[in-house]
Structure 1
Amino acid sequence: MIKPGDTLPDHDFTFVTDSGKSTTSLHALLANKKAVIFAVPGAFTPTCSQAHLPGYVTLADEFQARGVALLCLSVNDAFVMRAWQQSQNAEAITMLADGDGAFTQALGLAKDTGGFGGLRAQRFALLAENGVVTQVCVEAPGKLDVSSADAMLRLV
């Protein structure tokens, strides 16, 4: 599992916007930035849509005022992540679509939900500066405590 002091693995993420698709590397997104990357098991799922992402949407201005970028990771495709972003008014948050779960697996934070959904991300949040991890907060199953927006805001 990724830990403080580790450099995040580089990965190319695809983004869907009103003008089409584009691809950007994680290292380019994080260059010279402090960032919180929080992961959800799935877009449009109950806890993710009712609490986890909305907490970050509500506090986005406070993170921005502290110079912290917000990125939301999920093992979903870029079209799903864009639709979820729009439905949640989460334009201030960069949505990282890890369609095949390769990035989540590289972090050592994947879980297999079997027939329910297959490979997914564990619920977690990490703090990174210029791509180097400074904090990793992984939730216990069924919990939303240490990776919440409130918890991460206290760390930045």
Structure 2
Amino acid sequence: MTSPSGDYTATLPRKRMGSAVLFRDAGGRILLVEPVYKDDWELPGGVVESDESPYDAAVRELTEELGLSVSPGRLLVVDWVPPHPGRTEGVMFVYDGGVLDPALAAAIHLPAEELRGWAWSTPEEAQRRLCALLARRAAAALRAANTGDTSYLENGNRIV
């Protein structure tokens, strides 16, 4: 079966995608943001728009959410998330933001309509602030950043 344009790939299933960036400070804490629209915190990032690469989405989201014009480093984590009630399946990417220079951290400017605040968080604080899935993903990303690996996750659990 083909689409009216003759492009078979246009008929294939589509997946929701998101990109995030893991920033650390000199003490090994990670940067989390607090959305206004939900209770749990998140890594800075968001949805990959139509015809946008996951990497470009990460760069765009850093500008929109933090007011920072930075280029993330290598891919740390790919996480396939199964569907559950109210949400489709998705593929999430986490890139390495490295150790954020204190001057850049001081320049963070949040969009008030989207984010209530941000904070450096120890791994233990991140476990409390993030939902269980994001806590697993952030821990895997931090581990990958520290070891030089890239991890493949399913529902936040390391597979490879």
TM-score range, shorter-chain basis?
Answer: under 0.3
Instruction: Give the structure with higher Rg (CA).
Output: 2
Query: Which structure carries more helix by proportion?
Result: 1
Question: What is the TM-score when the length of structure 1 is the normalising length?
Answer: 0.28
Question: What is the TM-score when the length of structure 2 is the normalising length?
Answer: 0.27
